[in-house]
């Protein structure tokens, strides 16, 4: 099955998820991830703002901010395949820090002083929460085909290596999005783990 065929299949399955099912699954998956972050004492969590048929990390983001974790969410750079992450202010409600941006997606209000840069966080522990259309049992990830995360994560890996940052990549999804075989190419970034509403998966080798 090609990437586009798999995307079409998964998007059909995701469209069948009800609002109540999404809320329930989000609570379960995010609870597992929250416990993992706290147990492993990550300093920074690069999270996301969910699309309609994605696991919602909103309540988890709020909970992490209440624990004084640094939480950042992405904003697409218009007319490019690039995106940046902006750190959320722990003292302000998240809804007051985002607005509708590219592709009709809620994005953080871009402020230069809130731009996340790994070079400013030497020797810190960073965890990236990555959404996706599907994930494989060896850490493979199938995105929407735009390349935003593959490009960003490839660059982030290099910056973390240069600045002695610990980097961990965690997928977040419904359990039915975990598939046995996911087609990959040389530019695809592998996850270190995936957290679903049923269980979490850890992978010995990301690539």
What pLDDT, on the 0 to 100 scale, is given for residue 145?
Answer: 87
Backbone angles phi, psi at 42, to 5 degrees: -70, 145
206 band by pLDDT with thresholds 50, 70 and 90: very low
Domain assignment present for residue 21? The answer is yes
Do 76 and 102 touch, CB atoms closer than 8 A? yes
Domain assignment present for residue 88? The answer is yes
Q: Tell whether the model's pLDDT for residue 38 goes beyond 80.
A: yes
Strands 70-76 and 44-46: parallel
What pLDDT, on the 0 to 100 scale, is given for residue 101?
Answer: 81
Residue 117 half-sphere exposure toward CB, CA atoms < 13 A: 7
114 band by pLDDT with thresholds 50, 70 and 90: very high
The domain of 111 spans: 3-134+149-201
Beta bridge partners of 195: 172, 200
The domain tally of the chain equals: 1
Domain assignment present for residue 72? The answer is yes
Region 32-46 average pLDDT: 97
Q: Residues of the chain with pLDDT > 70: what percent? A: 98
Which CATH number covers residue 67?
3.40.50.10420
Domain assignment present for residue 207? The answer is no
Domain assignment present for residue 142? The answer is no
Q: Tell whether the model's pLDDT for residue 18 goes beyond 50.
A: yes
pLDDT tens, residue by residue, 118-171: 989 999 999 999 999 999 999 999 999 888 999 999 999 999 999 999 999 999
Q: Tell whether the model's pLDDT for residue 9 goes beyond 70.
A: yes
Domain assignment present for residue 97? The answer is yes
Which residues, 6 or more positions from 142, have their beta carbon under 8 angstroms from its beta carbon? Answer: 3, 6, 7, 10, 132, 133, 134, 135, 136, 182, 183
| Euclidean distance between CA atoms 183 and 140, whole angstroms | 8
Domain assignment present for residue 80? The answer is yes
Please provide the average confidence, as pLDDT, over all residues in the chain. Answer: 93
| Euclidean distance between CA atoms 78 and 141, whole angstroms | 24
Domain assignment present for residue 206? The answer is no
What pLDDT, on the 0 to 100 scale, is given for residue 205?
Answer: 52
């Amino acid at each position: 099955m090609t990437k586009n065929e798999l995307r079409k299949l998964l998007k059909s399955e995701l469209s069948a998820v009800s609002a109540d099912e999404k809320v329930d699954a989000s609570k379960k998956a995010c609870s597992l991830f929250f416990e993992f972050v706290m147990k492993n004492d990550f300093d920074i969590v690069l999270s996301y703002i969910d699309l309609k048929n994605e696991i919602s990390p909103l309540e988890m983001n709020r909970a992490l901010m209440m624990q004084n974790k640094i939480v950042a969410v992405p904003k697409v750079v218009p007319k490019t395949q690039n995106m940046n992450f902006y750190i959320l202010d722990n003292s302000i409600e998240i809804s007051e820090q985002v607005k509708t941006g590219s592709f009709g997606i809620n994005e953080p209000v871009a402020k230069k002083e809130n731009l996340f840069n790994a070079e400013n966080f030497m020797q810190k522990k960073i965890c990236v929460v990555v959404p996706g259309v599907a994930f494989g049992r060896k850490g493979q990830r199938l995105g929407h085909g735009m390349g935003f995360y593959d490009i960003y994560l490839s660059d982030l890996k290099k910056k973390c290596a240069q600045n002695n940052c610990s980097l961990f990549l965690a997928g977040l999804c419904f359990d039915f999005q975990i598939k046995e075989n996911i087609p990959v190419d040389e530019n695809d970034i592998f996850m270190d783990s995936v957290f679903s509403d049923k269980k979490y998966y850890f992978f010995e080798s990301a690539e």
